[in-house]
Amino acid sequence: MDFSIFLIIGLLISGLLAVWPTLTSVLVSIVYWFIVLLWSLNLFNPFAFNTIPWVNLLNISINYQIDGLARLFALLISGIGILVLFYAYIYTNMETYKRAKLLSLLQLFAISMLGIVVADDMIMLFLCWELTTITSYLLIQFKVQSESANQAASNSLFVTIIGSLAMLAGLILLENKSASWSIASTINQLTTQVSSPQCITAFSLILLAIITKSAQFPFYFWLPGAMKAPTPVSAYLHSATMVNAGIYLLARLHPLFGQLSIWYPLLTFFGLSTMAISSVLCLVQKDLKALLAYTTTFALGAMVYLLGSDQPLAIEAFAIFFLFHGIYKAAAFMLVGTLDKEYHTRELDKLSGVGRTNFLLAFVLIIILGSMAGLPPFFGFTVKEMIYEAKLATPTISYFIVGISLLSSMLIAAICFRCGWFLFKAAKKTHIKVKILKFGLLCPAILAGVILILSFFEESLQDLVQPSIAAIVPATKVIYVNPNVGSSYLLSLTTVLGGAFLSLLFILIKKLPTSVPDLLNPRLLFENSLNYLLLFGKQLTRFTQEQSLTIQLKIATASIVIFLLLTMIVTQWYKLIHYQVFSVNVTNLPLFILLILVAVSLLSSYKFLYNLISLSLLGLATGFFFMVNGAVDLAMTQLLVEVLTIIVILIALHKFRLINIYNKSSISLLNIAIAIGIGLYTTLMLLLVKATPFNPELQQYYIKNSLLLAYGKNVVNVILVDFRSLDTFGEAIVIIATAIGIWLLTHKSLLSIRKKHVRHS
């Protein structure tokens, strides 16, 4: 089957879930993603990845890049997606239309995410990227009655849209440099030119998209706010998939931009800053979903930092940590959702003792918290060791960097131990005992079992991640870290012991801060900045638009003139102009004199009717100038516009008393300055056009092809109607709009005259 058809089938399944949100539809979706899961594991290969032409004129096509990196991300999308879809079905004890909305949007998001990881065409990648943004916004705003959910969705949309626009500009720059929309082709062609200013600019723009999408400093604040979404959304979008879209793009472009000297410093800065801030902010969280959100930003920061290196050990640590993080974080979110449904709270201190009430719940809690904290013998300890080994293997190792990483990891471990202490300490008598929890624990238990299997079969991941490592760092062979030896092992033990000590300290202190000061809260700073921006816009609108029409025209015209003149000065267009004295035709001399006299009369007069007559003379003289110099079509257009303008103004004048229509008696210096600016710019542009060498190829093309292509002998007519039909169409729209305006002005007047006539008769 062609993979494009398979993607379309996925979209149809999303529609099926929207109109028929039953268990049968969910099972159809699960089968769909199970096929993707088998394909990602290379156990089943039913797809043909054919290139489909899309926009031939721009060389845009639908094509795919299938390698180990694409399969690794597809594995997480499909594997977690299967459990999340089933969990969403049993989780959503709500109206049918709400369940339909949730399931269909989850399916649509998963399809768009799959499109990102398999796309080779940049435009296809961008469109799928934007589709994840839109679906994420709709899912965060799922509870439309909640003001906080709407605000969180708006923050998410605004931040990620900024990054999306930057990414589009960066992709266009890459295409302009490589003459190809293919990611693989662009990487191959620009490998030796990556240090060019255009490539560095493209990297900066794409990096902005990555740090906004993957919630990196300083844009990390939108992810904790996105926890207003239902738990299945948090388990899938904001821990296992959507936030990893930026990570995927970073890994995909690693072979190209990894050669830049600014690659490692920038990614190290963003990654470590996010890790440090997230680990500190975790301390003040009581809501378990918010706490998990900050641990997610911490993990994303670690991935960004690891991808900053070009060492195979770092890339191996990234690939394994990426997969492992998606598993335990999805399990953690689904477990929190189950507790929330049972106890109607996510507050940590209100859930004390729940781990003692159910054996399966205790089993899942121990595995998830132990994996997140990096506690031996769970696989999380080995992953933590691999990360430290990768950091120590970096050529530009800094004890400061390792120290920040170690301290941040200690705080995360301490928070996990603290959660475990609360959840397993002696329950209060007022606690309601956990019921069977039905199917709520099934999905977290399955993922906990996967974690347990990985803990005993660690080396089995080597073959799984090897193709993805080769896609990021080509021509390398993975060297699996031998656990329980060396400095990395000591650092992992230090993390666990330090986390245990800090958790004991936090428990003894008992009262920790429960909020961040407003001045240090990035979400409030962002929202306040938007509010001030809107306030500035309102004040600017009041200043520019709540004025008379004359003042609005002055402001608009002056702004345009200043912008155009500054553009000409900055770009130094004026240096291209060849200044010379032009000979004046004797036939044109009277018209020039008439134009000058009329212009002077406009400046010296302050009566409206007199100025109207002068403007008419100015337009008529311009039309005669066109006619004398052979531009008959321009002359006809000019005369038509002048006649229509006079008719419209005269029709409108009968509603006003001319005695009240006067300009100021003194000549406005602002008007003179604006007029001189427009005249100066127009003159310079005409001189620039005249100085530009004339290329006769276009003229010859029209002459040769008017009869052959358009079947017309009149070249001018063919140009207007066929070759430049859009220009003619635009001019026709202007005439139609003018006619509509005249009709609107005259209709009411003619109607009132008719009523008076009927009344008198």
Choose the most confident range, by mean pLDDT, from 166-170, 290-294, 721-725: 166-170
Listing DSSP states for 138-199 in one string gives: HHHT-STT-HHHHHHHHHHHHHHHHHHHHHHHHHHHHHHHHS--BHHHHHHHHTTSTTSHHH
pLDDT reading at 379 higher than 90: no
Distance CA 129, CA 77 (A): 15
> What is the Cα–Cα distance from 578 to 493, expressed in whole angstroms?
76
- Residue 481's Cβ-side half-sphere holds a number of Cα atoms within 13 Å equal to 29
Q: What is the mean pLDDT of residues 200-227?
A: 92
pLDDT at 13 over 60: yes
Phi, psi (5° rounding) for residue 693? -60, 135
What separation, in Å, do the N-terminal and C-terminal C-alpha atoms of the chain show?
81
For residue 266, report the phi and psi dihedrals to the nearest 5 degrees: -65, -45
Q: Where is average pLDDT lowest: 27-41, 238-252, 593-607?
A: 593-607
Q: Is the pLDDT of residue 225 over 50?
A: yes
**Whole-angstrom distance, CA of residue 391 vs CA of residue 401:** 9
Each residue's pLDDT tens digit, 459-503: 777 778 888 998 998 755 555 555 556 788 888 889 999 999 988
Computed over its alpha carbons, how large is the radius of gyration of the chain?
34
Distance of CA 701 to the CA centre of its chain: 43
How high is the mean pLDDT of the chain? 84
User: Residue 574 — pLDDT band, cuts 50, 70, 90?
Assistant: low
In three-state secondary structure terms, 690 is helix
Q: Does residue 436 register a pLDDT over 50?
A: no
- By the 10 Å C-beta count (0-12 exposed, 13-18 middle, 19+ buried), 517 is classed as exposed
pLDDT one-digit tens code per residue, 236-252? 876 667 789 999 999 99
Mean pLDDT of 185-214: 93
Domain ranges of the chain: 273-336+345-515, 695-761
Q: What is the pLDDT of residue 138?
A: 92
> What are the tens digits of pLDDT across the range 252-277?
999 999 999 999 999 999 999 999 99
- Give the pLDDT score at 658: 56
Report the alpha-carbon distance of residue 340 to residue 689 in Å, rounded.
70
C-alpha span between 669 and 686 (Å, rounded): 26
Q: How confident is the model at residue 751 (pLDDT cuts 50, 70, 90)?
A: low
What is the spatial distance between Cα 581 and Cα 145, in angstroms, rounded to a whole number?
A: 71
> What integer is the mean pLDDT of 610-637?
82
CA 210 to the chain's CA centroid: 9
User: Tens of pLDDT along 295-339?
Assistant: 999 999 999 999 998 888 889 889 999 999 999 999 999 999 888
pLDDT of amino acid 395? 65
Residue 30 reports pLDDT greater than 80: yes
Q: What is the pLDDT of residue 660?
A: 45
Residue labelled with tokens 């919630």: 215
